[in-house]
A and B are shown apart, each in its own frame.
Chain A
Amino acid sequence: MQDLLYFSQQLINGLTIGSAYALIAIGYTMVYGIIGMINFAHGEIYMIGAYTALIAITGLTALGLAWLPLILVVALLCAMLVSSSMGWAVERVAYRPVRGRHRLIPLISAIGMSIFLQNYVHLAQGSRNVGFPALIEGGFNFGSDGNFQMSLSYMQITIFVTTLICMTALSLFISRSRTGRACRAVSQDLGMASLLGIDTNRIISATFIIGAALAAVAGLLLGMYYGSIDPLFGFIAGLKAFTAAVLGGIGSIPGAMLGGLILGVAESMTSGYLSGEYKDVVSFGLLILILLFKPTGLLGKPEVEKI
C-alpha cells in the first residue's frame, strides 16, 4: 500500500513538472517546425519570464494589492508581455539575418544569444538566487499509510489547470484562427506559403511570440513551484524542454505535450527511486538515446533529405 502511494506521489510530481516542461517545449517545437533551427535561447526567455513575474509580484505586493488572483494574473500578463517582446527581439536581431544559411550558423548565433541573455539578467539582477514567495499554499492530503502521506498541493493543481488552459487555447488557435492556419502552412512549405501571399516573416515572428509567452507562463509556475530562481536556471530547464520536444517528435505540438509529461515522470521517478542528483543524467541520457534510435521522436514525421 505504501509503495503504491509513494509511486502515485512520484507520478503526480512528475506530471506537474512535466506539464510545465511541455509549455516550454512548445516554443522549441514550433520554431523548429517552421524554420528548422534549435532556438537555444528559449530557456533564457523562460528565465526572463520568471524574473519578470517575480518583479511584478513583488511590486504589486509593495503597492498594497492583496487579492491573490489579481496579483497572479497581472504578474502573468507582465511576464508574457516582456518574454514575448524578448522573443520577438531575439528573432529580429539574432536569427532573421542568418536565416537560410548553413545549419550551424543560426545555432551558434543562438548560443551567443543565450549567453548574452544569461549575463544580461546576471548583471542586472545579481547572480544569487532569489526566493520566490509561495503564494499558493496548502493542498489535499489523502491516502495516509503508516508514515507516508500522499498529497496534492493547490500549487500542483494550479500548474495542471493553467497548462491545460494554455494548451487548449493553443490548439484552438492553431487549428481555427487565420494566423494559426498560416502557421501550419508555413511549417509545411515556407516557400510555397509565401508564394500564396502569406507574410512568412510575420508568421515566424508570431511563432516566436507564442513560444515565448508560453515559456513565461511556465516561468511563473515553475518559479513558484521551486521557490527560487537564478539567472542560470533557464539553461537546464531549456535543455530538458528541448529533450521533451525531441522525445515527442520535434515539430509536432501534441508531441511536445506528450514528451514533456513523459520526461517529467521519468525524472521524478529517478529522483524518487534512485537519487535526485542523477535526474539530469537520466533526462540527458534519454535525449541521447532517442536521438540515436528514433530521431523523429514519438509523434514526429520522418524527415526526407533531398539532394
Chain B
Amino acid sequence: MAANNFRHALFCAVVTLIISIPILGLNLEAKGINIILTGAKTSTYVAIVLAAVAVFVFQAYRDSIMGLLGKLPNFNPLADKEPMEQSKRVKLESWILTGIVVLALFWPFVVSRGSVDLATLVLIYVMLALGLNVVVGLAGLLDLGYVAFYAVGAYTFALLSQYTGISFWMALPIGALLAGLTGMILGFPVLRLRGDYLAIVTLGFGEIIRILLNNWTTLTGGPNGIGGIPEPTLFGMEFGRRVKEEGNTSFHETFGIAYSGEHKVIFLYLIALVLAVITALIIRRFMRMPVGRAWEALREDEIAARSLGLSRTAVKLSAFTIGAFFAGFAGTVFASKQGFISPESFVFLESAIILAIVVLGGMGSQLGVILAAIAVTILPELAREFSEYRMLIFGAAMVLMMVWRPQGLLPMRRIHITLNKQE
C-alpha cells in the first residue's frame, strides 16, 4: 500500500464522517417555538463509523479489490453463450410480452381488490413509461416535465366532466389529443435546444403548469383539486349500486348478478390493460416505421441525420407529440381511477419516477420498460418499511445505472447485420 493511497483513503474516510455526522447524527427537533438538538441512536453512530471504515478499506486497497473482482468467475450464465440470434430474440421478446398480457388478463379474477387497484396503477405507469420511452429512449430528448402532459390529460377529463358532464369514453381521445397538442405547442419552440438545456426547459414548463393548476383557483379548484370524476361505463352500463345518469342502466342489474364493488375495480383494470396494450402496440409500430428509425438516427448523430435530409424539428416534434399523447391517455385513466385529482399528483418527483423507470428498464426497450414499471411500482408496496426509502433507492439506482450500465437492464437491440470477418 503506497503512502499516497493511504493518505487518499484517510481523506475519503474523513469526508465520509464529515458529510454524515451532522446530518445523520444530530437531529433538529421543534419543541414549542424553540428548536433543540438531539443525538441520534447509538446504532446510527456505529453505522456511520462502519461506513467510514468501509470507505477507508476500499480506497486503501482499491487496486487489489478491483483486481480480485476482475478475477472472480463470471456468474452471468449467459456470458459464455453466443448472443442469441436476432430473429430468435425478437420472437422470444414478443412471446414474453404476450405471456405478460395473458397473465395480466387473468390476474384480477384471482387476487384481492387491493391488488387489482395496485395493478391498475402499474398499468398507468406502464403507459406513461412507454410514452416517455419514445421521447427519452428513442428520440434521445430528455423531458423532465413529462408529468405536465399527464396533468393535461387528467385535468381535461376532470374539467370537462365537471362543466359539460362528458363521459370517460369521450374524454379519453379528447384528453390524449389535447395533451398531444400541448406537447406540440410546447415542443415547437424548445426542440431546437441542445440536450441538457431542453431538459431544464421542459422541467420549467412542468413546474409552470403545476403552479398554474395550483393557483388558478376559479377554474381548477387550486390545491383542493377536482372531485366527482365519473367512472367509465360499459356501453351505457354503470358500475355503481344506483344509476347516476338518466338513460344508463347498471351493470349488475342488466346481467342479473348481485352487486359487488369489485366489478368496477376489475373493469377499470381491464380498460387500463387494453389501453396499455394498445399503447405498446402502436409504439411498436412506430418504432419500425421510417419515423421511428429517424428518431434513433437523430439520437445517434444529429449532424449526420440532418445531412441525410431529415428535418430535425419534424422528427423531434413527432416524438414529443406522441409521447405527450400517451401521457394524456394515462392521465385520463388516472383521473377516472382516482375520482379526484389535485396538483399534488403532478409534481416533479412523478416525472423523475417515470424517468427512473425508463432508465432502469433500458432506454428504448419496451420489454425492459414494462418490467421496470412493474418492479418500481410494486416493490414499495410489497415491503412497506421499504417504501420510506423508495426515493432514496431510486436516486441511488439512477446514479449507479448511469455509472455501470447506462444502457439499462434490458437494453434495446436493433436488428442489424454484422459483416463477417475476412481472413
Interface of A toward B, CB cutoff 8 Å: 37-38, 48, 51-52, 54-56, 58-59, 62, 78, 81-82, 85-86, 88-89, 93-94, 97-98, 101-109, 111-121, 123-126, 128, 130-131, 133, 235, 239, 242, 246, 275, 277-278, 280-281, 284-285, 287-288, 291-292, 295, 307
Cβ of B24 < 8 Å from any Cβ of A?
yes
Distance in angstroms between the alpha carbons of A286 and B212 in the assembled complex: 16
Contact (Cβ within 8 A) B201 A287: yes
B22 adjacent to A55 (CB under 8 Å):
yes
Nearest residue (CB) in A for B136 is A104
The prevalent SS among residues of B at the interface is: helix
Contact (Cβ within 8 A) A125 B214: no
Residue pair B208, A285 in contact (C-beta under 8 Å): yes
Residues in A whose Cβ lies below 8 Å from that of B399: 93-94, 109, 112-113, 116
Residues of chain B within 8 A (CB-CB) of A111 are 144, 352, 355, 398
Give Cα A287–Cα B27 distance, bound, in whole angstroms: 36
CA–CA, A288 and B193, complex, Å: 10
Q: In the complex, which of the residues A59, A98, A112, A124 contacts B397, with contact meaning CB atoms closer than 8 Å? A: A112
B403 touches A97 (CB 8 A): yes
Query: How many whole Å from B380's CB to the nearest CB in chain A?
Result: 13
Does B419 count as interface, using CB distance less than 8 angstroms?
A: no
Whether the pair A86, B19 counts as a contact (CB closer than 8 A) is yes
Known: A56-B22, A242-B200, A281-B208. 8 other contacts (CB 8 A): A54-B35, A98-B406, A104-B195, A106-B402, A109-B403, A115-B391, A118-B395, A287-B201
**What separation, in Å, do the CA atoms of A195 and B403 have in the docked complex?**
26
- Asked if B255 lies at the interface with its beta carbon under 8 angstroms from chain A, I say no
Of A85, A246, A280, which contacts B211 at CB under 8 A? A280
Closest to B404 in A: A97
Are A277 and B196 closer than 8 Å at their CB atoms?
no
Residue of chain B at shortest CB distance from A282: B208
> Mask for B174-208, Cβ within 8 A of A = 1, else 0?
00000000000000011001111101110111011
Is residue B267 within 8 Å, beta carbon to beta carbon, of the partner chain?
no
Q: How far is the CB of B157 from chain A (nearest CB, A)?
A: 24
Q: Are B15 and A108 in contact (CB under 8 A)?
A: no
Query: A89 to B19, Cβ gap below 8 A?
Result: yes
- Tell me whether B208 and A108 are in contact (CB under 8 A): no
Known pairs A89-B19, A125-B23, A130-B28; A58 contacts B35 (CB<8 A): yes
Question: What size tier do the contact residues of chain B reach?
Answer: 35 or more
A51 touches B23 (CB 8 A): yes
Q: Which residues of A contact B411 (CB under 8 A)?
A: none
- List the interface of chain B (C-beta within 8 A of A): 15-16, 18-19, 22-24, 26-28, 30, 33, 35-37, 140, 142, 144, 189-190, 193-197, 199-201, 203-205, 207-208, 211-212, 214-215, 303, 348-349, 352, 355-356, 359, 388-389, 391-392, 394-399, 401-403, 406
- Supposing A123-B388, A291-B197 touch, asked if A277 and B395 sit within 8 A by C-beta, the answer is no
**CB-based contact B190/A82 at 8 Å:** no
- The residue of chain A having its C-beta at the shortest distance from the C-beta of B24 within the complex is A124
The reply to whether B195 and A239 contact each other, CB–CB distance below 8 Å, is no
**B13 → chain A closest CB, angstroms:** 12
Cβ-neighbour of B406 out of A48, A55, A105, A119 (below 8 A): A105
Assess the B23–A124 pair: CB atoms within 8 A: yes
Contact A130 B392 (CB under 8 A): no
Task: Give the contacting residue for B201; candidates A37, A117, A131, A288; CB below 8 A.
Answer: A288
Contact in complex: A116, B23 (CB < 8 Å): no
User: Do residues B403 and A94 form an inter-chain contact, with CB atoms below 8 A?
Assistant: yes
The CA of A112 and the CA of B142, in the complex, are separated in Å by 14
Q: Please tell me if the beta carbons of A55 and B26 are within 8 angstroms of each other in the complex.
A: yes
* A interface SS class: helix
Give every chain A residue within 8 A of B203 (Cβ-Cβ).
239
In the complex formed, the residue of B with least CB distance to A44 is B395
The reply to whether B37 and A55 form a contact with Cβ atoms under 8 Å apart is yes
Beta-carbon contact of B403 and A120 below 8 Å: no
B388 nearest in chain A by CB position: A123
B-side contacts of A37, CB under 8 Å: 196
Contact residue among A52, A112, A124 (Cβ-Cβ distance under 8 Å from B395): A112
Asked whether, in the complex, the Cβ of A291 is within 8 Å of the Cβ of B140, the reply is: no
Q: Is the pair A103, B19 in contact by a Cβ cutoff of 8 Å?
A: no
Q: Which residues of B sit under 8 angstroms from A94, Cβ to Cβ?
A: 399, 402-403
Closest A residue to B192 by CB, please name it.
A292
B392 touches A123 (CB 8 A): yes
B398 proximity list for chain A (CB < 8 A) = 108-109, 111-112, 115
Residue from the list A105, A123, A235, A287 in contact with B389, Cβ < 8 A: A123
Q: CA A123 – CA B211 in complex, angstroms? A: 26
Shortest Cβ distance from residue B6 to the other chain A in the assembled complex, whole angstroms: 17
Q: Known interface pairs A98-B403, A116-B396, A288-B205. Does A104 touch B196 (Cβ–Cβ under 8 Å)?
A: yes
Can you list 27 A-B pairs, Cβ within 8 angstroms, ordered by A? A38-B200, A82-B18, A82-B23, A85-B19, A89-B15, A98-B403, A101-B406, A103-B194, A105-B402, A109-B398, A109-B403, A111-B355, A111-B398, A112-B397, A112-B401, A113-B395, A115-B349, A116-B392, A119-B392, A121-B23, A123-B388, A124-B27, A125-B27, A130-B28, A131-B33, A235-B348, A284-B208
Q: When the two chains form their complex, are residues A119 and B395 in contact, meaning their CB atoms are under 8 A apart? A: yes
Tell whether, in the assembled complex, residue B15 and residue A88 are in contact, meaning their CB atoms are under 8 Å apart: yes
Please give, as numbers and ranges, the residues of chain A lying within 8 Å of B199 by CB-CB distance: 38, 104, 107
Q: Bound complex: CA of A108 vs CA of B402, how far in Å?
A: 7
Question: CA of A40 to CA of B120 in the docked complex: distance in angstroms?
Answer: 33
Structural contact, B15 and A78, CB atoms closer than 8 A: no
CB distance from A81 to the nearest CB of B (A): 6
User: Using Cβ atoms and an 8 Å threshold, which residues of chain B touch A124?
Assistant: 23-24, 27
For B27, list chain A residues within 8 Å (CB). Answer: 124-126
A59 and B142 alpha carbons, distance in the complex (Å): 43
